[in-house]
Amino acid sequence: MNHDDHWEKQLQQLPLGNGGFSVESMNKIKERIRLNRTTRLRSARIAVAAVSIVSVAAVAWAINRGMQPQQVATEPRVDETEAQLIVQYWDNQSFMNQIGQPYMIRHPNIDFKIVTSQSNDLASYRKWLEESNADVLQIPLAYIDDLAKDGAIIPLDDMLKRDRVDLDEMYQPMIELMREAGGGKLYALVDQFSTDLLFYNKTLFQRHRVPLPDEGDTWDDIFRLAGRFDGSTEDGKPVYGLSFGWRSDPYNAIMKVGRSEGLSLVDAKGLPQVDSDAWHKVWSQVTEGFGKGWINNEPGPAASNIGWTEESIMKADTFINNRAAMSLQSYNSSWNFISKAIEKGIFTGDWDALPVSSSTAPEVTRSFGGAIIYAINAKSPNKDQAMKLIEYIVSKEQSERDYVSGNFPLHANRATSVSIANDPADRVYAAKLDADTILEQLERNQLPGVLEMSAALNAKGTEAAQSIIAGRTTVEETLSQLQEEAVSAIQSSGRTDGLP
Amino acid sequence: MDYDYLKQMNDGLDRNALLDELMVTYGKEVWNYAFFLTRRRELAEDIAQDSFIKAYHHIYSYRGDRSMKAWLLAITRNTARDYFKSAWFRKVQFIPEDFGQGLARPSAENEWFGTQRQREIWNAVLELPRKLRETLLLYAHHQLSIKEISELTQLSEGTVKSRLFRARAVINRTFGKSAVSEGRDRT
């Protein structure tokens, strides 16, 4: 045995195979507490056979965890100086549940104060930041370059290097996106992100003798395949080629397709291009699908006084009920429903998922739905502690906590010691993201008047699309009208430069 | 530090949520420590369960004067000692499990089971007398400092160092090497 391979290092991992502390152990402990059985009984293991509900995630976690090397948990650091970190987050309670409480267990000397920002544009965020004394910021992606130029946030590269954070183990497109946003430097780190995936029901494709979608398929290919289901029925009910989740809104579908094609409603100067040829094509394809009925056009679940319930959504979603061959949905929300539908035996088809490619760049995806991003306030007196907190938030350990809790977020630092059978996240992490186009779309959305313009179009879009579907107007007429609406909305916001 | 930091947690302390957190974070540590002390999986499971139940009931007595891990391991140690003292334990003769046979059983379903050499090392360590075994593993597996081990076991730091030295010497002899450690020990 040589020095390089010292036996003592081997003791850091206990190769237990399928054994050790498991979800089953956790459930037994909780059950014994519930039954108030504090006395030791050897028969406890047998007596408490009926454990509480174990989610799919938990079971998979248990199984998978047992097969992984037993790693030493992160060691609590009790030698830190006491500090109160001020963190920008949505609300105190969810911060403490998600991050604060587990962090305080590991770092007993750190206390938290949560602050929120109500700003919805860069100018008001800048003002808020000026007055804020937050150490850790949760910033919009589109603001990174501006705040970096202001010197309001600090580059993290050196601190990450010092703390030996392995950026290579993170989902590289998210690191590239951050570097791109920061002009080469890393000013922020992504915790979670969202992206759309095209789920497809192989069984339906096979039953209707339609070839399966393939990697690299563009929207032209997907619409062509979806159109093959035109007029299809099963058991007297329509079968659709494509759906867009559980809500059937043609304007929402047009925006999703347009976004994944890398289209923007405004040009580089922030001037409307609602009636461009590229948008014209998307409107034509989507409204044709809705009109002919190969895109799901059912009204969706009725909202109760508490909004939509999980039950009503699962009942109304045509993909979950094996009546839509494909469905473009955000990974995060759809997988939650689909996995439950599989567990309950509602969704029975053989299935898979794919990232959607743009017709102009088939090797990348542009279906980016946003990210939760953290940065450090340049004015913070607690930069090292703030860095430690961000490092914890984006750690694999924290991703694992989140995953085990039954949520399905996409973490930039993916949990690798836990997994669920057939989790389509593999498809997301295998995809490449078009950082340039995504940032360009976001930048354009920040230009003056664009927010007001988007709001005006959102208010009119669905009705306009319905009008085309019903044959009352043409795509040309509708887009021409919406273009005028867009110009008018920007003018109303106070901007006049460059407008007709 | 002599304050109860848990009581300072914002919005009060949800004991059940904290239990989940402790189990997810330190479940393996507690279970493994119980296993090192007993060398039996079924006992490790019992002790780990009992330890977390005790932690749940005494969570408000935790003070931030040591790490949560060290606190949980101390509870685990006391729970194991209760087992050793029990009439039931004294009546039963345990034969240590062979690490290669009993624990890391290779199978098609379990791709990761450690190398032959790892199994030899673990078998040798688990064959150590309990006092040496415990000290070595608190140091090498649980990554506690000499000071933390001293507090946990209520032994002087000198005794901990001596046990660590003796444990290493035995293992090194097994593998034909002198009792020198790599670099400096954590203090």
Domain assignment present for A321: no
Reported as type and span, the H/E element at residue B117 is helix B116-126
Is residue A486 within 8 A of residue A265, CB to CB? The reply is yes
Domain of residue B140, residue span: 128-178
Tell me what percent of the residues of chain A surpass a pLDDT of 70.
Answer: 86
Is residue A247 within 8 A of residue A307, CB to CB? The reply is no
Q: Under an 8 A CB cutoff, do A14 and B10 touch?
A: no
- The beta-carbon neighbor of B32 closest among A66, A70, A105 is A70
Of A174, A203, A241, A107, nearest to A414 by C-alpha is A174
A40-44, A162-166, A452-456: the lowest-pLDDT one: A40-44
Q: Under an 8 A CB cutoff, do A100 and B10 touch?
A: yes
Domain assignment present for A262: yes
Best probe of the A interface among B37, B67, B76, B173, by most A CBs < 10 A, is B67
A87-91, A340-344, B174-178: the lowest-pLDDT one: B174-178
Query: Bigger pLDDT: A217 or A71?
Result: A217
Are B154 and B83 in a shared domain? no
Q: How is residue A168 annotated by DSSP?
A: G
Are B82 and B139 in a shared domain? no
Domain assignment present for B70: yes
Rounded to the nearest angstrom, the gap between the alpha carbon of residue A347 and the centroid of all alpha carbons in its chain is 22
d(CA A200, CA A207): 13
pLDDT tens track for B104-115: 333 333 333 356
Q: Under an 8 A CB cutoff, do B141 and A11 touch?
A: yes
Domain boundary, last residue among A435, A468, A487? A435
Q: Under an 8 A CB cutoff, do A44 and B175 touch?
A: no
Quick one: pLDDT band at residue A407, thresholds 50, 70, 90? Answer: low
pLDDT of residue A304: 64
Best probe of the A interface among B14, B23, B24, B86, by most A CBs < 10 A, is B24
d(CA B48, CA B32): 9
pLDDT of residue A500: 65
Are B86 and B162 in a shared domain? no
Whether pLDDT at A424 is above 50: yes
Is residue A337 within 8 A of residue A351, CB to CB? The reply is no
- Token couple for B157: 């730091």
- The beta-carbon neighbor of B28 closest among A45, A70, A97 is A70
Quick one: pLDDT band at residue A58, thresholds 50, 70, 90? Answer: very low
Pick left, alpha or beta for residue A498 (phi over 0 → left; psi -120 to 50 → alpha; otherwise beta).
Answer: left
pLDDT of residue A76: 38
Q: Under an 8 A CB cutoff, do A6 and B1 touch?
A: no
Q: What angle do CA A256, A257, A263 make, to 5 degrees?
A: 95
From chain A, the residues in CB contact with B3 under 8 A are none
Are A100 and A173 in a shared domain? yes
Are B77 and B150 in a shared domain? no
Number of compact structural domains in chain A: 3
Are A274 and A189 in a shared domain? no
How far does the CA of residue A314 sit from the closest CA of chain B (Å)?
A: 29
From chain A, the residues in CB contact with B88 under 8 A are 42
Q: Under an 8 A CB cutoff, do B21 and A105 touch?
A: yes
Domain assignment present for A389: yes
Are A113 and A171 in a shared domain? yes
Are A427 and A454 in a shared domain? no
How far does the CA of residue B77 sit from the closest CA of chain A (Å)?
A: 15
Domain assignment present for A190: yes
Is residue B137 within 8 A of residue A5, CB to CB? The reply is no
A-to-B residue pairs, Cβ atoms closer than 8 angstroms? 172
Contact residues for A272 (Cβ-Cβ < 8 A; gap 6+): A265, A266, A453, A483, A486, A487, A490
**Angle in degrees, 0-180, between the axes of helices A435-445 and A450-469, rounded to the nearest 10:** 100
CB-neighbour burial class of residue A303 (10 A; exposed 0-12, middle 13-18, buried 19+): exposed
Q: Under an 8 A CB cutoff, do B142 and A72 touch?
A: yes
pLDDT of residue A437: 86
Identify the residue whose tokens are 């933390």.
B148
Of A351, A342, A331, A363, nearest to A212 by C-alpha is A351
Q: Under an 8 A CB cutoff, do B121 and A10 touch?
A: yes
Quick one: pLDDT band at residue A440, thresholds 50, 70, 90? Answer: confident
Cβ atoms within 10 Å of A67's Cβ, excluding its own: 16
pLDDT of residue B105: 38
Average pLDDT over residues A192-216: 93
From chain A, the residues in CB contact with B69 under 8 A are 73, 75-76
- ipTM, 2 dp: 0.79
Are B133 and B83 in a shared domain? no
Domain assignment present for A234: no
- The beta-carbon neighbor of B125 closest among A11, A12, A93 is A11
Domain assignment present for B101: no
Q: Under an 8 A CB cutoff, do B30 and A21 touch?
A: yes
What is the mean pLDDT, run by run of 10 residues, along chain B of 187 residues? 38 69 86 88 88 85 74 90 71 51 37 60 87 92 90 92 93 71 58
Query: Bigger pLDDT: B25 or A251?
Result: A251
Are B8 and B81 in a shared domain? yes
Q: Where are the beta strands (DSSP E) in A25-135?
A: 83-88, 110-115
Identify the residue whose tokens are 């989740």.
A245
Domain assignment present for B118: no
pLDDT of residue A446: 82
Domain assignment present for A151: yes
pLDDT of residue B38: 85
> By three-state DSSP, how is residue A325 classified?
strand
Are B154 and B91 in a shared domain? no
Query: Bigger pLDDT: B109 or A288?
Result: A288
Q: Under an 8 A CB cutoff, do B122 and A10 touch?
A: yes
Are B88 and B153 in a shared domain? no
How far does the CA of residue B64 sit from the closest CA of chain A (Å)?
A: 6
Q: Under an 8 A CB cutoff, do A67 and B64 touch?
A: no
Whether pLDDT at A380 is above 90: yes
Domain assignment present for A333: no
CATH number of the domain bearing residue B11: 1.10.1740.10
Whether pLDDT at A469 is above 50: yes
Number of compact structural domains in chain B: 2
Best probe of the A interface among B4, B31, B142, B165, by most A CBs < 10 A, is B31
Quick one: pLDDT band at residue A230, thresholds 50, 70, 90? Answer: very high
A51-65, A204-218, B128-142: the lowest-pLDDT one: A51-65
Query: Bigger pLDDT: A118 or A229?
Result: A229
d(CA B147, CA B158): 10
CB-neighbour burial class of residue A3 (10 A; exposed 0-12, middle 13-18, buried 19+): exposed
Domain of residue A153, residue span: 83-194+369-435
pLDDT of residue A57: 36
A425 backbone dihedrals φ, ψ, rounded to 5°: -60, -30
Q: Which residue of B has its CA nearest to A404?
A: B24
Are B86 and B14 in a shared domain? yes
Q: Where are the beta strands (DSSP E) in A2-139?
A: 83-88, 110-115, 136-138
How far does the CA of residue A131 sit from the closest CA of chain B (Å)?
A: 24
Positive/negative CA dihedral, A363, A366, A372, A377: positive
